[in-house]
């Protein structure tokens, strides 16, 4: 049997994959840190390594660089688990010698197993433990409902586990963000951001295994944002803290509405970005692309108003200081359009004084982000508004 080593600091995720590989006919071991994984690697001598990039102390990237500099491991297949929002880290993983890079939030355990089989040159069914076909008992009802498949049973078990653990996790998340908000700007926030990251990282992995795609989508963006704030604490401000708190407060809504299983073609989302500065406009659309949200960028407010008259949008981003018609005037006009009475409007502007904030609210704006902004903050905020539009308050819980 082929041997697989999994290096992953989330114990639930690591154990789940280890058990999944065992069921699929592999011999699998798991390690929670790069240091333990390195020792196990020498003893276990695996045929392939599954490696999380974000690990305590030594990172997965540093471990991979060390392995690729050792002749014995230069050809060892290394399949990397990544957060899709950390594009630069993924590029570094490719450069360091990753064999494949998989999105933790978007790949099911079955897809990971199939990726390992493909990497090792095995047929999809070649390593599965053979099980005899069940015999039909005499007198059995031929129209009886078929027994659920193993994959369906696995997802159900993970969902049940997630349901049991989420309330406690949510409490910890809220306590972490509350403690972070209460700290003065000059305080050392490293410990608080690290704790918040740990809880988000765990909840993202659990949601992914439970096949809760929208929950995992928001949690993945949130995880990346917290990681960036941890690395750059000077970017923490009232706006980023407000965005974190709003995202965490929205998680229970996605918990109550698990949604349909993930689809290769997610529903289309229509977002309008209005800003007369090309670089600023591109910064917003780039942030949306990171969240896999398509948008249309417009520089002229009059053209934007024409589009708003003709088309429905799920979310609108507006600059304030624009020629001909400023963002506050445009917002007031779009609120007069029947199709955009309740469309979320977020102002993105360098005019961050109290008066502009007040005018943004009075003209009908829902939120405000000051330039320059972290890309991941805008991605998280966008996902919250898009998903909130899908599950408005009072909507009946999904079956």
Q: Out of 2-6, 28-32, 319-323, 354-358, which region has the weakest mean confidence (pLDDT)?
A: 354-358
pLDDT of the residue at 186: 80
Mean pLDDT of 275-300: 91
| 320 pLDDT above the threshold of 80 | yes
| 132 pLDDT above the threshold of 50 | no
Q: Which two tokens stand for residue 185?
A: 């700007």
| 248 pLDDT above the threshold of 70 | yes
**DSSP at 142:** T
**Cis peptide bond N-terminal to 372, omega within 30:** yes
Residue 88 belongs to domain with CATH number: 3.40.50.2300
Cβ 53 vs Cβ 86: under 8 Å: yes
pLDDT of the residue at 211: 82
pLDDT of the residue at 154: 72
Closest by alpha carbon to 366, among 327, 311, 326?
327
203 vs 225: CA distance, rounded Å: 15
75 SS3 class: coil
Distance of CA 81 to the CA centre of its chain: 13
Q: Out of 131-135, 262-266, 353-357, which region has the weakest mean confidence (pLDDT)?
A: 131-135
Same-domain status, 37 and 86:
yes
Same-domain status, 277 and 381:
yes
pLDDT in tens, 64-115: 999 999 999 999 999 998 888 888 888 999 999 999 999 887 788 888 999 9
* Residue 46 covered by a domain: yes
pLDDT in tens, 152-201: 777 777 888 888 888 998 999 999 999 998 988 788 888 889 899 988 98
Same-domain status, 287 and 335:
yes
* Residue 161 covered by a domain: yes
Same-domain status, 88 and 112:
yes
Please, which pLDDT band fits residue 124 given cuts at 50, 70 and 90?
A: low
Range of the domain at 76: 3-119
In terms of pLDDT, which residue wins out, 210 or 331? 331
Name the domain boundary from 73, 92, 119.
119
Percent of the chain residues topping a pLDDT of 70: 88
359 vs 87: CA distance, rounded Å: 36
Calculate Rg over the CA atoms of the chain: 24
* Residue 34 covered by a domain: yes
244 vs 238: CA distance, rounded Å: 10
Residue 197 belongs to domain with CATH number: 1.20.120.160
155 vs 21: CA distance, rounded Å: 15
| 129 pLDDT above the threshold of 80 | no
Whole-prediction pTM: 0.81
Cβ 258 vs Cβ 184: under 8 Å: no
Number of domains composing the chain: 3
Mean pLDDT of 10-19: 87
CA 100, 112, 4, 161 torsion: positive or negative?
Answer: positive
Same-domain status, 223 and 249:
yes
pLDDT in tens, 329-350: 999 999 999 999 999 999 987 7
């Amino acid at each position: 049997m082929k041997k697989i080593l999994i290096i992953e600091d989330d114990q639930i995720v690591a154990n789940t994959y280890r058990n999944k590989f065992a069921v699929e006919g592999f011999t699998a071991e798991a390690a929670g840190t790069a240091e333990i994984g390195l020792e196990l690697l020498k003893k276990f001598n695996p045929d392939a390594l599954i490696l999380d990039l974000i690990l305590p102390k030594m990172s997965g990237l540093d471990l991979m660089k060390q392995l690729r500099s050792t002749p014995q491991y230069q050809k060892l297949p290394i399949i990397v688990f990544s957060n899709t929002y950390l594009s630069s880290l993924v590029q570094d993983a490719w450069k360091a010698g990753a064999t494949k890079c998989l999105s933790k939030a978007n790949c099911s355990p079955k897809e990971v197993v199939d990726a390992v089989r493909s990497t090792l040159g095995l047929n999809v069914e070649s390593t599965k433990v053979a099980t005899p076909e069940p015999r039909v008992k005499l007198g059995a009802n031929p129209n009886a409902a078929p027994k659920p498949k193993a994959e369906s049973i696995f997802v159900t078990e993970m969902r049940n586990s997630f349901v049991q653990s989420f309330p406690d996790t949510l409490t910890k998340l809220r306590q972490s963000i509350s403690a972070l908000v209460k700290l003065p700007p000059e305080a050392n926030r490293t410990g608080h951001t690290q704790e918040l990251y740990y809880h988000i990282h765990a909840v993202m992995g659990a949601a992914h295994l439970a096949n809760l795609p929208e929950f995992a989508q928001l949690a993945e963006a949130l995880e990346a944002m917290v990681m960036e704030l941890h690395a750059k604490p000077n970017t923490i401000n009232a706006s980023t803290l407000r965005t974190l708190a709003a995202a965490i407060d929205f998680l229970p809504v996605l918990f109550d509405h698990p949604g349909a299983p993930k689809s290769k073609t997610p529903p289309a989302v229509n977002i309008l970005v209005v800003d007369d500065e090309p670089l600023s406009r591109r910064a917003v659309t780039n942030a949306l692309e990171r969240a896999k949200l398509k948008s249309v960028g417009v520089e002229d407010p009059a053209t934007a108003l024409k589009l708003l008259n003709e088309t429905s949008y799920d979310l609108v981003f507006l600059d304030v200081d624009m020629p001909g018609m400023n963002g506050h005037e445009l917002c007031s006009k779009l609120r007069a359009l029947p199709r955009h009475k309740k469309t979320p409007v977020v102002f993105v502007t360098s005019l961050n004084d109290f008066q502009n904030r007040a005018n943004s609210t009075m003209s009908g704006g829902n939120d405000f982000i000051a330039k320059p902004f972290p890309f991941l903050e805008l991605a998280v905020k966008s996902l919250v508004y898009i998903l909130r539009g899908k599950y408005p308050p009072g909507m009946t819980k999904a079956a």
